[in-house]
Structure 1
């Protein structure tokens, strides 16, 4: 029998991993929205997140604005962008070009998503990709062709996971099978869709691990402060928010009281996910920083201190306006 390795004799050599922190942003739709977004970006940058994800419109409807935002994040901030990319209705050639464009501006993280099916029921063009795992495999092919260029930073590929059954899925078990297929195709991590009940994340983690999913599954949490957003996301996900939370928010006399109630509920939800074994927290900001920072302040996550990270000033209002144009 061979002697134990150095790592075997020192099981705590690496120590405990710090809790990951990330935010989601979306490209602005106007000059005013761009100016507000860059204020938010500056505030979020000060918390030194591990990355920020940038959403991508249905069928790439805001592709140019998304890539421009990502490029500015790389060039003008210390933030690391995770670029969303959807595949429905796009050919492999079109997607390979977009992936190359993202890599050229410095992106080293891509969230590979299927995307929404056409609302008019139209059939996607022949040859277009249909599933997220197809997109993952395409990303890996593009990455392989560029391996010499990427030796200073390979691509991390993320995917979506669903604490509650996907609206188009026949069962939660099928959702886990899809997540496992994404892992086999080359996914490195998953971020969950919004959930409203603490047990949903813990249950997802248990079912996924039993099925053989080993990649990190990061809970996606939104500040639970807006009744309108809660209702809308309940419709999209098919999961109703807790009635008692809705009642308390509706009964609040002021916006400040409503925010206090919602932030407390969000912190409780995030802490429950961390207690269940979550490796980090992904905050859906809706391009607003105040509630996200309130949640972060009360979570008190153990975060690493990165030496030498210099915060750069946010663009001026004129530059922000160029971004929205």
Structure 2
């Protein structure tokens, strides 16, 4: 069943979460442990992130370095297939502009369709570490809406070179990202919402937010996009505050604010255990307010937060 149908047909607020493929060479068992930990809360779907390759430099001695490309977390397609096969849960691999050419994207679509995986989250993706600003691959895309168009063409039976697909399979359906506190590269919120509307017009069936800790910013964002005629589900993306270091890391990395009441309590924490307990308490209150407001689903980001998410889910699902 499509993600949009799973969301709409679930009478209560649905539960879902996002995972990362394992680091190259580390195996999939720990990822299965994450799923097993959260499986009791009936996840409607599981997102699997995709990661671009990066340049790495090997010291050859004598002042010489060899530059090569390394993908630290390969295997998104295989991980998605493994999860779907093992757990019979809908999987949603991320598909990116960042680090991929149009042809590489086409091969990913073909592989996913062969596997019967036809739900996607379509993203531009982050810039590479060595870049000062996002730069698309040669013969790649600069914007998610361009990637959407390739997927739409594929659904219509047209390859990226314009040639016909002789046998078409089940069409892809997809969601996109949105930002209650504005994407860091957007000049203003109006511009950000304009492009979200364009992505909806191009076929996005729902949008998942960047993580946030202030529900008022989510509610205000939803109100604004509704005024612009955007009527797709806006799914809140949530991650419990879990470590003392996140007091400074979260605003820097994700470009979101920590509300003053949360920040004030966090600075009083002496250990990560105290910080995690505070994060669970805040997240439970946050989720209860979102559920009371009738959000269709809550989507959890699991990195370094699996146990906290389980504690939150025990109280709200």
TM-score, normalised to structure 1, is: 0.79
For 2:84, which of 74, 79, 83 is the aligned residue? Answer: 74
Whether the 8 Å CA contact 1:164–1:239 is kept in 2: the answer is yes
SS at match of 1:41: helix
* Closer, same or farther: CA 241–225 of 1 in aligned 2, 3 Å: same
SS at match of 1:166: coil
Whether the 8 Å CA contact 2:16–2:45 is kept in 1: the answer is yes
TM-score, normalised to structure 2, is: 0.81
Cα separation, 1, equivalents of 2:172 and 2:137: 28
Aligned-CA RMSD value: 2.5
Pair 1:127-2:139 in alignment:
yes
- 1:29 positional shift: 1.2
**Residue of structure 2 equivalent to 1:102:** 112
Cα separation, 2, equivalents of 1:142 and 1:40: 33
| Structure with more relative contact order (C-alpha pairs < 8 Å, separation 6 or more) | 1
Deviates more, 1:31-40 or 1:196-205: 31-40
Cα separation, 1, equivalents of 2:135 and 2:208: 28
* Closer, same or farther: CA 155–87 of 1 in aligned 2, 3 Å: same
- 1:256 positional shift: 4.3
SS at match of 1:84: strand
Report how many residues are paired. Answer: 284
Cα separation, 2, equivalents of 1:15 and 1:157: 17
* Closer, same or farther: CA 51–62 of 1 in aligned 2, 3 Å: farther
For 1:39, which of 30, 33, 40 is the aligned residue? Answer: 33
For structure 1, the 5+ residue unaligned runs are 1-13, 301-325
**Residue of structure 2 equivalent to 1:3:** none
Cα separation, 2, equivalents of 1:46 and 1:144: 38
- 1:43 positional shift: 1.9
Whether the 8 Å CA contact 2:93–2:119 is kept in 1: the answer is yes
Q: Which has the higher helix share?
A: 1
Pair 1:249-2:266 in alignment:
yes
Cα separation, 1, equivalents of 2:269 and 2:311: 18
User: Runs in 1 of length 4+ with deviation above 6 angstroms?
Assistant: none
Within a 5 Å distance, the mapping from 1:132-143 to structure 2 comes to 132-143=144-155
**Residue of structure 1 equivalent to 2:65:** none
For 1:260, which of 252, 261, 277 is the aligned residue? Answer: 277
**Residue of structure 1 equivalent to 2:169:** 149
- 1:171 positional shift: 0.6
Q: Which has the higher strand share?
A: 2
Within a 5 Å distance, the mapping from 1:1-325 to structure 2 comes to 17-29=11-23, 34-58=28-52, 61=71, 64-118=74-128, 119-121=130-132, 123-145=135-157, 148-150=168-170, 154-253=171-270, 255-286=272-303, 288-300=305-317
- 1:33 positional shift: 7.0
* Closer, same or farther: CA 249–63 of 1 in aligned 2, 3 Å: closer
* Closer, same or farther: CA 89–254 of 1 in aligned 2, 3 Å: closer
For structure 2, the 5+ residue unaligned runs are 1-7, 55-70, 158-164
Cα separation, 1, equivalents of 2:212 and 2:92: 21
Cα separation, 2, equivalents of 1:34 and 1:139: 29
